[in-house]
Amino acid sequence: MNPKIKPVGLARPRKELVELLRGTVLFSGLSPALIEKVADIAVLERAQKDAVLYRVDDPARDLYVVVAGQVNHAHGPATQARVLTKTMQPGDVFGWAALIKAPARRFATVTMLADTELLRISGAELMQALASDPEAARDVLARCAKMIVEDFTVPAWLAQVQDVPAGKGGSPMVQRQAAAGEIGAWEMFAYRLSKWAKSPTPYLMLVGFVLFFGAWYLLSEVFKVWRFASLPGPKTVLLEWFNPNPTYGMSLYTPDYYVHIWSSIRRVLYAFLISTGLGVPFGLFLGWSKNFREFTFPVFETLRPIPVLAWVPLAIVMFKGQESPVIFLTTLASFYATALNTMLGVQSIDESYPRAAACLGASKWQIFRHIVIPGALPFIFTGLQISVGVAWFSLVAGEMVSGEYGLGYLILASYVNVQYVVIIIGMVSVGVVGYVSSALVRLAGDYMMQWRVRELALGGGR
């Protein structure tokens, strides 16, 4: 045993440890009796700072719950983990390799970042304790499978999770399918939300906004520093924005404000769908086919640096009406971001995967469908997040010169009419709606990539 890691007996009240187990994502929802059984087999240990709990390829016999302190959890590079290094906080569970079939080996190296207290739980004894309640056992192993799915891009170890004891839960295969597909998404979301609320992230974000708006207020309304003296301050903007009878005719209470927002959202949506439908296939072929890339990439790279505003006269000449030129200009910039990131995603795939698939008899179409597309997904969705952001500032430029209604049109019209408060209202509105649209794309990407991982883990991509 590592001399820096020692059992400490009943240094904490048993009730406190039971509540800690109940609050973890792995054991939440278990009956009080089963939680007590888990607590019976848990050993409280104290580890000194810099102590190494285990290393990659060590035998995996126990899993751990952080009681106090911090733990650095570093996956080995060969595991294809989404995030190689994590900091485990109180309430986090790690060491799930103890629940896979023997011979179980560690996939990570765990080091104490501070003096830490851990609950060590034997994997074998935990399985015996869970055998008394097959439904609860299935739930625990389903959560374990969820941890694997979320940690790894290609979780081959999902199939190695120990079988749930036979009983109400049905056959092991059915239970493993439930583990991969029906594993308490709401509970995982609630757990993540609670962890996020307990972390410094939301409070640091709040501090950032307070500092930004505080500096703006002091510079523009209190001290009236240099150029800021001519800008409306946040107090002036908020009073106008929330005014039922706005001085400049634009606030949350005026119908035209929402017409401008909806017009911009509709145009961005059209442009985003077009750029995704064209950019993703184009990027996949750029990355997959050397001949196609040599033929088209020079033209692509020549056109990509041309600013959107330079296309405005041609867009007005090429497209009739007021909507089509704006959508074209918005699509243009989004298409480049989507295609380029998709191409980089294909090029990031280890060549050994398509080579191995070809050796096993896979056709080019099968390699493209089952290796290239899934392997490029992280880059594709990164590109889509960039794409939707690029679409918004391209849209504003397009609406300024060829638009009727829309946030860009509102900003330009306000400038012409010397309504600086409305300009800032339009700018903040673009920022808020753009942030929400990027968040929705990010959520869609997380959902779709988890679905693909589950399909691969269960062999559904055959």
- Within 8 A by CB and 6+ apart from 453, the residues are 149, 152, 153, 154, 155
Domains along the chain with CATH numbers: 5-198 (2.60.120.10), 232-457 (1.10.3720.10)
pLDDT, average across residues 329-355: 91
- Confidence (pLDDT) at 164: 46
Nearest to 169 by CA among 128, 124, 139: 139
Question: How does DSSP classify residue 163?
Answer: P
Beta strand pairing call for 62-68 and 52-54: unpaired
In 10 A of CB 320, how many CB atoms?
A: 9
pLDDT, average across residues 289-308: 93
d(CA 360, CA 189): 39
d(CA 61, CA 232): 64
Nearest to 453 by CA among 461, 444, 443, 441: 461
Tens digits of residue pLDDT in 91-105: 888 888 887 766 678
Sign of the alpha-carbon torsion through 140, 145, 151, 157: positive
Q: Is the pLDDT of residue 191 over 90?
A: no
With pLDDT > 70 as the criterion, what percentage of the chain qualifies?
Answer: 81
Q: Is the pLDDT of residue 168 over 80?
A: no
Nearest to 408 by CA among 419, 420, 399: 399
Beta strand pairing call for 93-94 and 62-68: antiparallel
Q: For 197-313, where are the E strands, in sequence order? A: none
Q: How confident is the model at residue 181 (pLDDT cuts 50, 70, 90)?
A: very low
The torsion defined by the Cα of 32, 33, 37 and 38, in degrees rounded to 10, comes to -30
Sign of the alpha-carbon torsion through 278, 369, 390, 427: positive
Tens digits of residue pLDDT in 257-285: 999 999 999 999 999 999 999 999 999 99
d(CA 18, CA 35): 7
d(CA 458, CA 462): 9
What's at 148, amino acid-wise?
A: I
Bridge partners for 126 per DSSP = none
In 10 A of CB 342, how many CB atoms?
A: 29
Q: How confident is the model at residue 112 (pLDDT cuts 50, 70, 90)?
A: very high
The answer to pTM > 0.85 is no
pLDDT, average across residues 118-126: 90
Q: How confident is the model at residue 142 (pLDDT cuts 50, 70, 90)?
A: confident
Tens digits of residue pLDDT in 358-409: 887 888 888 898 889 888 988 999 899 999 999 998 888 888 776 678 999 9
Tens digits of residue pLDDT in 44-64: 999 888 999 999 888 888 999
